[in-house]
A and B are shown apart, each in its own frame.
Chain A
């Protein structure tokens, strides 16, 4: 499915709604160019997950951890040169751990991602503040989430 978001307020509403739907073990992938709004969207999803800290860019640290109603692992694999480095990070302990994994630039590590996941591709729209979000759920759990998001 595809939705359009105009400005920060609509992004926040959407992100919070998505955050509310997430459970332990969920994998959420974000793709989009520099400045598309991946971290901004993650901030809103964090609000829906009850994260009270500022969610900042994980580009440098590669992984930031937050405490919401469940742990939130915020990845950014932008800086990784090859997928082997992800093994060195112990990524599987996060993906199959007790929290929610949100992965920016996920397309760079496609092969290592769990098969079942929800993928959000963010594209810039015609206006400067407009974004198109293309949402694809892989696996029953994520098809359900997509349907929930489609409801209104």
Chain B
């Protein structure tokens, strides 16, 4: 069964063709192709109206690269939220037109659910139940996945996303954007115990996260050092800051996994590419006898393949949207 999927929730315009929910035939992401050469314009980095300029070309590219025709497609999947209203609308309108024109079913997918499903593509034998940590520049969620379409949102950030904290601390340290990979690299040669930054755990039983206070603590530390004219060792600050974030992410993930008797913790989102996080999760996993899984880098970012996987599993479970499908900007996982 072939699914054509569209993802336009934020910066990336992406279209993919997926076979049986697990096999990627094509996965085109706008920011990765040479748009200047190809379309003679500027790459649509930001939002809504610019998705319009590229969506049709990217749909065609996804079809071509998959070496299929529109008539071969059985199902349309599209991100319905959360995200920017205008940006989402471009994807939904395109998806509806395709579904209507080809007379095939359409399924609106939750973007966060998509991140979870990226792992079904990467790990062909992965089946629920498992515990899932979704961490990126825009999202921080802890989810218990009970079935292919049965998600329980257990924790989320109350202020900054984990990846956002990395980017903002990197900026304060004078490092280029995106800051996550650079901090990760610097942290390898820094002393993670050199500065004592807070680990914000919130209420004892809470699975929510808060990274805004940590960000401010790092900024205050840097200001004080500068005022006193003392040297700042960037590697040490990076390592200490990163450790504060990781301690909280790892601790809460394992606490949930143990509470629910999960044998697997699955990671998703851009921060799942962080080497420090992967190493720490895997070391703790060995101790606790819990398997740690994460997708390859391309499937960690926003992409349509993961939306196609989610659409497929929803369809198999009897879920279906119709032509009245609409965007839901603030969609929680239940929506």
Residues of A at under 8 Å CB distance from B?
33-35, 37, 39-40, 43, 53-54, 56-57, 59-66, 80, 85, 87-90, 128
Q: Which residue of B lies closest to A84 (CB)?
A: B46
> B residues 193-251 with Cβ under 8 Å of A?
212, 215-216, 219-220
A53's partner among B136, B163, B172, B330 (CB-CB below 8 A) is: B330
Contact B10 A60 (CB under 8 A): yes
**Majority SS of interface residues in chain A?**
loop
Say yes or no: A88-B158 contact (C-beta < 8 A), given A34-B172, A35-B219, A57-B212.
Answer: no
B45 to chain A, nearest CB (A): 8
- A83 to chain B minimum Cβ distance, whole angstroms, is 12
Which residues of B lie under 8 Å from residue A53 when comparing CB positions? 330
Bound complex: CA of A35 vs CA of B102, how far in Å?
Answer: 51
Chain B contact residue count (CB 8 A cutoff): 34
A sample of 30 inter-chain contacts (CB < 8 A) reads A34-B171, A34-B215, A34-B219, A35-B168, A53-B330, A54-B156, A54-B158, A54-B159, A56-B157, A56-B158, A56-B159, A57-B160, A59-B160, A59-B167, A59-B168, A60-B10, A60-B138, A60-B161, A60-B163, A62-B46, A62-B84, A63-B84, A64-B329, A64-B330, A65-B330, A85-B46, A88-B47, A88-B49, A89-B47, A128-B220
Q: Which residues of A contact B49 (CB under 8 A)?
A: 87-88, 90
B162 to chain A, nearest CB (A): 11
Chain B residues engaging chain A, CB cutoff 8 angstroms? 10, 45-50, 82-86, 136-138, 156-161, 163-164, 167-168, 171-172, 212, 215-216, 219-220, 329-330
Q: A125: shortest Cβ distance to chain B, in Å?
A: 12
Q: Are A61 and B158 in contact (CB under 8 A)?
A: no
Q: Specify which chain B residues have a CB less than 8 angstroms from the CB of A39 in the assembled complex.
A: 159-160, 212
Report chain B residues within 8 Å CB of A33: 219
Q: Write the chain A residue with the least CB distance to B49.
A: A88
Q: Do A89 and B330 have beta carbons less than 8 Å apart? A: no
Whether B84 pairs with A89 at a CB distance below 8 angstroms is yes
The 4 closest A-B pairs by CB, nearest first: A60-B138, A35-B216, A35-B219, A85-B46
Chain B minimum-CB-distance residue to A89: B47
Interchain CA distance A128-B167 in the complex, whole Å: 22
* Residues of the B chain whose Cβ atoms lie less than 8 Å from the Cβ of A65: 85, 329-330
A145 to B86, CA, bound (A): 32
Measured CA separation A61–B161 after assembly (Å): 11
B159 contact set on A, CB distance < 8 A: 39-40, 43, 54, 56-57
